[in-house]
Each structure stands twice: as structure tokens, then as C-alpha cells.
Structure 1
């Protein structure tokens, strides 16, 4: 049994890391991808996570699978194919640690993902199922994602959705948002940023309390609105809700911080005796803050010991 099963398209993020010997911008090959990033905190904090999907038969796919195994992620359903290259992106980072992604067109396998590419027996073993949307939403890959979500729900899993919207990735943004809302209908647990909340609800970004409750009213069990250094707000179907302050850190790279937050929240929510939600969100905020202290995604995720030390120092 797995706490989290993620149908993930792992990505190599080429992140800015200064300048090379010729004085040109240099980029480091960092493994990442939202689906894998969310599964990682659970594994690092002592839970069981599995990632399945496709990467290329290339040096990038080799590196991703090797790192996932080193980080205690089950990769039995992560397959390599020569159909295309592993999905690649280049990440620029500003002085505040905020990043912008430029995805390499033609890389990645999500649009061609088929049922034959997925080990459904692994999905059936998960408490929570995660998947990313497909940018090319009128494709076989998009249909396959819906089939996987329905399969997971039919087998008793909760569906966790990190909206994770990227501007300008859809040929038609309005149609793309409609597609994301269609996936949202299946979600039990939802994580959105304040701008994604505004996009979904039509409210202002500072109306996070109303926004969270509006999404919760869409028959959800728990909703999280993350606002980076502005803190986080949560609302649950049991009526528990509240704002939790962020931990102040000097961000180096915010890649994966939202994923780290959601993965941490899901880890504690899937324990046999869950902590109070306010404490779960406090720990998720801490884990996301620690993730911002290092570049990259996989390699920035802290260990359980690092999280506990940080929390002890910031009571």
C-alpha cells in the first residue's frame, strides 16, 4: 500500500547557476516535475510513495529514475521509451528566488500517454492519487489522464490536485482553464496559489478566505491556498479553517516550494492519527520554506530531521 501514487511526467529543469568559463549563463541539470515533487516529501518524511509514467531512453531519464530510487520513491511503474526525449525546461531565477519556466517544445511524452503505458495495479494500491494535467489537452494523453483518475477513485483513492498553472502553455488559455476545471471536478484535496484561486473563482487574490471556501463548496474535502511569503489558508469540509503564517527565509530558488507544501500536507493527512490541520499546514509551510533555501526541486527537499530541527528553532 502506498500513501501517494503519482502519475507524473518527470522533468529536467535546467536551472540558472551563475556563469560558465566563457562568461555565458550556466544551467545545472536538476530533476523535478510537479507530480514527482509532491510525492517526494512523503517519502522523505517516512511514508511510501510511488511514481509512474514515462521518461526518455536518454541521459535525462536515467538521471531522474536514479535520483527517485535514491530518494526512496518506488519506480516500478516509471518506464523509459524512445518515443521522445524526457521533458526539458529552462528556468530563470530572479533576485527574490522567483522563477520562470521555458519548456522545450517537442520534449516529453504526456500527449501520447496511453493506457498501455500505465501500471494500473500500482494506482490501485494508493491512498491518494496525483497527476498533472496535459498541456496538449485534446490528445490521447489527456484522455488517459482522466481514465487514470477515474480508476483511482473507483478503487477508493482520494484525488489530490495541485492546480500548478503555467501561463501560455495552452494554445487557447480560456479553453485550457476549462479543461483544468473539468479535472478539478474529480479532486478531493486541492492546492492553489492565490492567483490560481482568483482564476478559478473570479475573486481578487487577497480574498483567499472566500476563495478557499468557494472551491470547498465544489464538493471538496480540503482546500489550501498558498501565498508564498504571505502564508497559507486552509479550509476543510468539517468546518476547520484558518490562516497560517509563513516562515521567513531568504529564498534562493522557489522551484518546487508549492509542491513541497502539498506533499507535506498529504503526508500528515494520510497518517493513522492525523495532526490538527493548522499544525499540518504549519509543517507544510516550514517544508516549503526549507525547499526555497536550495536550488532545484528534488535536491532541495529537506529530510525529516532537517524539518524537525527547523520547527524546533522556530516555535
Structure 2
């Protein structure tokens, strides 16, 4: 039995890595993509997982497959495209480590996943099926994603959704809102940023916005607040918890680490149990995972171990 199967994008994040002797910026090749990052966090904590997605038949695609394999993530569900290259993203960081992206995905291999390439045997074996909205931007990956989600729901799997909204990858804002809203109605566990909460609900107030999202059908709504922490909302509880104080250098993957740490803790519960649980200790654990990830460059290479998270929580 697999703890988590995720479907979606996997790509190369080219992350700032100093300058050369001429003062020209250098970029490090880091593996990334939110659904893959979530699995890597789960794996780092000792969980089992598998990835469904597509890379190009190129050196970047081979590197990404090797990276997941080295993290004990099943890659039998990874397809290869001989005509479209692996998706790339260049990351820019500000003085606080907050990032912005430039994508090379027009198209990218992750967009080209077909429904008949989805290895449903992996979904048969999982407890949680996780996906994001980048696989909803275009066909054929949109159909492949919804087909997989519907299949997982019919099997009674826990459905986890993190929009991970990137405006540059959508043709327009209205289309993004429509697709993200549709996906939210299918989710048991929903994680959004403050920006994504506002995008869907028009609310900046956490209590009101999280309630609106919960009313769309989820058992649990998680809202990541960056350096301010995170909050959760389920049927009977709404709580906000501060972030751990860390020296952030790169926030890439911090939200994915938070999600991966939460799913690792929730994998053995049913949606109706999650809907009524007090989750304070689990949020604090996930906050530590996200905070520690921001203290290092990259996403997957920056993910903390279980021992590091425990030490962070002890102060």
C-alpha cells in the first residue's frame, strides 16, 4: 500500500546560486514541481509514494527520474515525451527569500500527459491522491487529471488538492478561477495560500474565506500564511498558528513541504474523522517542515528530516 500518489508537474527550478568571477549570475539545477515536492517530503519522513506525470526525453527528464528514485518514490507512472522537452522554471529571489518564476512551458512535457498514460494501478494502491492546478491549465493533461481524480474518488481515496496558482501559466484569470473552483469541490483536503483564498472567494478575512472554502465540500481547509504561519478550518475548529522563526533564504517548496508533512500525518484517517479533528499539533509540525525548507536553496534538496523538524519544534 502506498501512502500518497500525486499527479502533475515535475520540472527543473533554476535557482540563483551566486556569481562567477565576472560577476555574472549563476543558477543551480534543482528538481521541483509542487506534486513531486509533496511526495519528496512524505518520503523524507519515511512515507511511501508514487508519482504520475511526464518529462521530456532529455537530460533534465532523466535527472528528475533519478532524483525521485533516489528519494524512494515509485516512478513507474512517469511517462516520457520524445517531442516536447522537460518543463523549466527560472527562480528570482528577493531580500526575504520570496520567489518569482519565469516558465519555459509552451509547451512543456508535463502538459502532454494523456489519460491513457495514467497508471491507475498506482491509484488502486494509495491512501491519498494529491494533485494541483498546473495540470489543469491545458489539454491533454487537464482531462488526464480529472479522469484520475474521479477514479480515485470512486475508490474512496482521500483527495488532496493544492492549487499552487501561477498566473503566468493561465490564459486568463477567469479560467483559472473556474478550474480551481471545480477541483476544490472534489477535494477532501484543500491547501491554499492567502492569495489563492482571495482568488476563489474574494475574501481576505481568514475566518470568512476559509469557511467559504470549507462550504465548497472539503473536510479540511489549510491556509498557508508564509512568515505569518498557517491556519486550519474543519467542521468544528478554526485556529491560526505562527510560523517558527527561521532565517529564510529561498521559500521555493516551503508550502509543498507543509502539505507533505500534513498528508504524512493524516494518511491513516478517514475524511469524516479529519473533518472533526483537533489538528493543532499537526499544524505545528507542518509549520516547522515548511520553515526549515525556506532556510536552504531549492525545493527537494532543501526538505528537512524528521529529526530536524523535531529539533526545530523544541526551539
Give the TM-score range, shorter chain: over 0.9
- The equivalent of 2:104 in structure 1 is 104
Gaps of 5+ in 1: none
Change (3 A) 1:134 1:3: same
Q: Distance in 2 between matches of 1:233 and 1:124?
A: 31
Tell me the CA shift for residue 137 of structure 1.
3.4
- The equivalent of 1:86 in structure 2 is 86
Tell me the CA shift for residue 107 of structure 1.
4.7
Deviates more, 1:290-299 or 1:162-171: 162-171
Gaps of 5+ in 2: none
Q: CA RMSD in A?
A: 1.8
TM-score using structure 2 length:
0.94
Tell me the CA shift for residue 21 of structure 1.
3.1
TM-score using structure 1 length:
0.94
- The equivalent of 1:147 in structure 2 is 147
Q: Distance in 1 between matches of 2:243 and 2:124?
A: 35
Deviation >6 Å, runs of 4+:
272-275
Cα displacement string for residues 136-163 of structure 1 (whole angstroms, at most 9, x for unaligned residues): 7352221111101101111111111112
Please say if residues 209 and 233 of structure 1, whose CA atoms lie closer than 8 Å, have aligned partners that are also in contact: no
Q: Distance in 1 between matches of 2:162 and 2:48?
A: 19
Please say if residues 257 and 289 of structure 2, whose CA atoms lie closer than 8 Å, have aligned partners that are also in contact: yes
Cα displacement string for residues 261-299 of structure 1 (whole angstroms, at most 9, x for unaligned residues): 011011101146999410000000000000001000010
Tell me the CA shift for residue 135 of structure 1.
6.2
- The equivalent of 2:27 in structure 1 is 27
Please say if residues 54 and 117 of structure 1, whose CA atoms lie closer than 8 Å, have aligned partners that are also in contact: no
SS in 2 for 1:90: strand
Tell me the CA shift for residue 177 of structure 1.
1.5
- How many residues of Structure 1 are paired with residues of Structure 2 in the alignment? 310
Equivalent residue runs for 1:263-302 within 5 Å: 263-271=260-268, 276-302=278-304
- The equivalent of 1:258 in structure 2 is 255
Cα displacement string for residues 197-245 of structure 1 (whole angstroms, at most 9, x for unaligned residues): 11111112xx1122111111112110011111111110113x1221111
Please say if residues 136 and 170 of structure 1, whose CA atoms lie closer than 8 Å, have aligned partners that are also in contact: no
- The equivalent of 2:122 in structure 1 is 122
Please say if residues 222 and 233 of structure 2, whose CA atoms lie closer than 8 Å, have aligned partners that are also in contact: yes
Please say if residues 86 and 110 of structure 2, whose CA atoms lie closer than 8 Å, have aligned partners that are also in contact: no
- The equivalent of 2:198 in structure 1 is 198
